[in-house]
Each structure stands twice: as structure tokens, then as C-alpha cells.
Amino acid sequence: MATAHHADHPTGLSRWLFTTNHKDIGTLYLVFAFTMAVIGGLMSLVIRAELWQPGLQLVDPHFFNQMTTVHALVMIFGFAMPGFVGLANWQIPMMIGAPDMALPRMNNWSFWILPFAATLLILGLFMPGGGPSAGWTLYPPLSAQGGIGTDFTLLSIHLLGMSSILGSINIIATILNMRAPGMTLMKMPMFVWTWLITAFLLIAAMPVLAGAVTMLITDRHFGTSFFDAAGGGDPVLWQHVFWFFGHPEVYILVLPAFGVFSQIIPTFARKQLFGYDSMVYATASIAFLSFIVWAHHMYTVGMPMAGELFFMYATMLIAVPTGVKVFNWISTMWRGSMTFETPMLWAIGGVFTFTIGGLSGLMLAITPVDFQYHDTYFVVAHFHYVIFGASVFGLFAAVYYWMPKWTGHMYNETLGKWHFWLTMLGFTLTFFPQHFLGLAGMPRRIPDYALQFTEFNQWSTVGAFMTIAAQFIFFYLAIKCMKGGERATDKVWEAADGLEWTLSSPPPYHSFTVAPKFK
């Protein structure tokens, strides 16, 4: 039935513009995400090149600030989030035994908002007065003062948010309504579980960001006083509303990666996931806690003592479910029959770097200690260990794990391992020294620094260029794998478990036209 139907489908550009197919849309998301990663990566190189030595050499400070701001926005909204939505699109229907996503036309719409939103975001940089330079957190009064470039950014955020909300609605409807008979909620693959919870977080958090951005726009152009004390408002109000979105956002970025780790580690340890139920409950607990910890980003802003204490304890509580997850991954590997193919390397590497990032997060959670670390490079090191070390590692792990299924070809294992080890080395070289820089007092978002910080900064810069260079291996490998190579079997990995491995490699156009029997 599905093959007879192929004739109706346009080819060439219109295939991609008009597609309602979850695999095509997943591919679009992934291609978009990695394109944005290149743009954001180049911006990070501008930052690192400027920080190669003290003093101002390459760019002026205003442009440097634009780079830190737009690098973050591009990487978060353009790379990490769309990357994981791409994975969700490809994988969720195959993992739950569905023919496609629940709302295929809306699926296309959620993707095609993104290139337009990204255009606005990048266009902002070329406007008179430059792009946004207030940092990605867009704190007023600085963000209230920027020129038209800031307006481009704010409207771009509105569109990006719409895309995320629509995509998440689709993911929830798919998971709740399209599972194969017999797949109860507590039998779902962990990747599906983490995406269900992530989608909930997105629908709850993105509209709050839309509200905050709307207030900023009206303060900038329509005379409201939300963030202006002269009119009875308060710039700190922005921080509260922004971080009410911003903290769930970091779990939005990391939970799908947790799901990926939970798929890959059992496969290459040749054991079942240890503590499946506790994994589900831990994910849900993290999601709940993410909504009551936002002000730990604001310890130094002058909150009442009760607030400082509440947010400190609530934040430290997150270490409990997170610890459960790390414990479960390690227990899954315990006495497993382990092999270290590229996806497994990325997954173990991701668990390792995430654990470091989680522990530095615990340090930052402690209010009096944070007074010392706030807005230093320690924070930069921490969140790159989490967003790069967990989210991006998870994204790469997933792409290597499922690429043979998607393309029907095995990738080049040697190149994959080179990609992992060079990235791991470059990543560590870039971000590990930043812990020391921050502890020694180097502030973030400043293009110049004191002489004694030079050596660590130079390591960091070398690491950044190395990391970016290593990604060319990945692009070469991925394109080669799409074009050909050793045929992949349906199961691909010896101990792979799940419905997606029962389909052919590459899978048919409509994944499951007839719902499979599950267990």
C-alpha cells in the first residue's frame, strides 16, 4: 500500500518543503541543527580567538558581546533543541510502533518556522547598531537599550518558541495516542519517556518566555514599565520570568540526552537497563523540581534570605534524582559484556562529562559559594559541561547509534572513534581550565582579562579550534554513510532491543502501516 503511494509524492525541493513524513521532517531538523551548529561554532571561534591573549586584538568589545549573545541563542534554539526534535521525529514513531507522527501537517509547520526564525536571528547582526549584545539572558536595562537588532532577536525568539510548542504538542499526542497495542506507559523505551516529559516542559516553559519577551518588546516600544523602577516595575522581574522558563529549559536540553544514554548503554553492555521504573520516576522528579529552582540563577541580585535558602535547598534536591540516573547507568554497565563502539563511547563520555557538570552545578547551588562564582568562567565551564558534555554528546551518540538504521549503511567506525576522542580532548582542553579561571575570578562576557589568566585561556582557545576541527570528521563520515557503505542489518547492533530494530534498514516510508504486537 505504502509503495503504491510513493508516486504521489513530489521529489526534489518540493519533497522537503511540503513533506508530511516524519523521517523527512526528522532529517530536515537534523540538517538544520547541524547547519546552525556550524554558525554557532564559528561565533565561538571568534570569542576564543579574541581571548587568545589579554588586551583587545581582533574585534571590538561591542561585537564580542554580540558574539557571546548570539552564539548562545544559536546553539540552544538553533542546534540543541532542533537536533533533539529531529531525533524525536525519526525515532518516536518507530519506537512506539506508529505509522507516523500524530499530526503530520503540523509537524511540517513546526519545522518550517525554524529557518525563518533563524533568518531573523542572524539578520539582527547586520542591522545598524549591531545585534543583541545583552547576553542570551537578555537582562534589562541593557536589553531595553539595544537597537533594531534586539527587536529581530526578540521576534525570532517568539517564532522559535511557537515552533517548539507546536512540535511538543505533536510529540505528546503521538506518544499518548499512537503506541502499539500492548505498549503501556511503563513499557515505553526510555527515550520516548524522556521526550514525553521534555515536551511537557516545553509546553509549560516556552509560553512563559513568550510572555517575558512580549513585556520586553512593550517596554522597549510601547511605553510600559514592567522593568522600569520609575514606573513601579523592576528589572529583577525580568530575571524571575526569564529563569522560570530558563531553568526548565536546561532540562529540556538534557533530558532527551538522558533518554539516549538509557537506550545505548544497555545495548553495548548487553544487559537490560538497570532500574527502569526508578529512571522514569527520576526523570519526572527532575521535571517537577525544574519549576521551583529558577532563582538559583539570581542569588546575587538581592533576594530576601528566605528566597535564597528555599532555592538553595530545592536546587540541591535535584542531585537526588540525577544521582539515581547516574547510578542506574553505571549499574547497567556493571558486569556487562561491554564493547565500545562509537555510540557507546559518546554515551559513556556523556555520562562522565555530565557527572562533572552536575557536580559543579551542585557547587553553584550553594548560595554563599555562588556569591564567589556568579558570572565567572566557572559558570561558563559548568554549563558547557552540561549542554555540550551531556546534550551534544547525547546528540552525537544518538546519531551514531541510529544512523545505520536511517541510511541502511554502517558508518566508518575508525573515523567515528577519531571524532569522539578528538572532540573529547578538545572539549576538555577548552572547558576544564575555565573552572580554574572562574575560581580565580575571571568574569564571563568580557573580551579582555588580567595577565595571569593568559595560559589557561590559551589552552581553552587551542581546545576550541581543535573541537571545531574534529567536527569535519563527522560531516565527512555522515555524508559518506548516507551515500553508501557496508549494508547494515535490520538489527544493526548485536544486543539492540526495541521496535525500531524490527524494521528494515533503511525503514519503509510509513514506519508501521500495521501496528506491531508488543511483548
The answer for residues whose C-beta is within 8 angstroms of residue 63's C-beta and 6 or more apart is 130
Q: Which of 80, 87, 88, 172 binds other proteins (CB under 8 A)?
A: 172
Q: Which of 206, 324, 390, 399 binds other proteins (CB under 8 A)?
A: 206
Cell of 289: 523540581
Q: By CB under 8 A, tell whether 222 contacts other proteins.
A: yes
Indicate which residue of 23, 48, 247, 271 is catalytic.
Answer: 247
Q: Taking the complex as a whole, how short is the minimal distance between the CB of residue 100 and other proteins, in angstroms?
A: 5
| Number of CB atoms found within 10 A of residue 177's CB | 11
Give which of 82, 85, 73 is closest to 149, Cα–Cα: 73
Binding mask 6-35 for other proteins (x = CB under 8 A): --xxx---xx-xxxx---------------
Cell of 158: 517568539
Q: Which is nearer to other proteins, 1 or 305 (CB)?
A: 1
Give which of 288, 210, 260, 228 is closest to 84, Cα–Cα: 260
The distance of Cα 462 from the centroid of its chain, to the nearest Å, equals 24
Which residue has 552525537 as its cell numbers? 396
Binding mask 120-159 for other proteins (x = CB under 8 A): x---------------------------x--xx--xx-xx
Q: By CB under 8 A, tell whether 103 contacts other proteins.
A: yes
Cell of 27: 532529517
Q: Which of 68, 89, 91, 170 binds other proteins (CB under 8 A)?
A: 170
**Touching other proteins, residues 494-513 (CB under 8 A):** 510, 513
Give which of 112, 77, 20, 34 is closest to 482, Cα–Cα: 34
Catalytic residue status for 382: no
Rounded to whole angstroms, the Cα distance separating 132 from 77 reads: 15
Q: By CB under 8 A, tell whether 59 contacts other proteins.
A: no
Q: Which of 119, 184, 337, 339 binds other proteins (CB under 8 A)?
A: 119
Q: Taking the complex as a whole, how short is the minimal distance between the CB of residue 246 and other proteins, in angstroms?
A: 13
Q: Find residue 443's DSSP bridge partners.
A: 376
Indicate which residue of 23, 297, 382, 435 is catalytic.
Answer: 297
Q: Taking the complex as a whole, how short is the minimal distance between the CB of residue 194 and other proteins, in angstroms?
A: 18
Q: Which is nearer to other proteins, 414 or 513 (CB)?
A: 513
Indicate which residue of 164, 355, 423, 428 is catalytic.
Answer: 164
Cell of 483: 551515500
Rounded to whole angstroms, the Cα distance separating 129 from 157 reads: 19
Indicate which residue of 156, 163, 407, 430 is catalytic.
Answer: 163
Catalytic residue status for 486: no
The crossing angle, in degrees rounded to 10, of helices 393-407 and 22-50 is 140
What is the gyration radius of the CA atoms in the chain, in angstroms?
23
Catalytic residue status for 156: no
* Residue positions annotated with a catalytic role: 71, 100, 136, 163-164, 247, 249, 251, 262, 296-297, 322, 325, 444
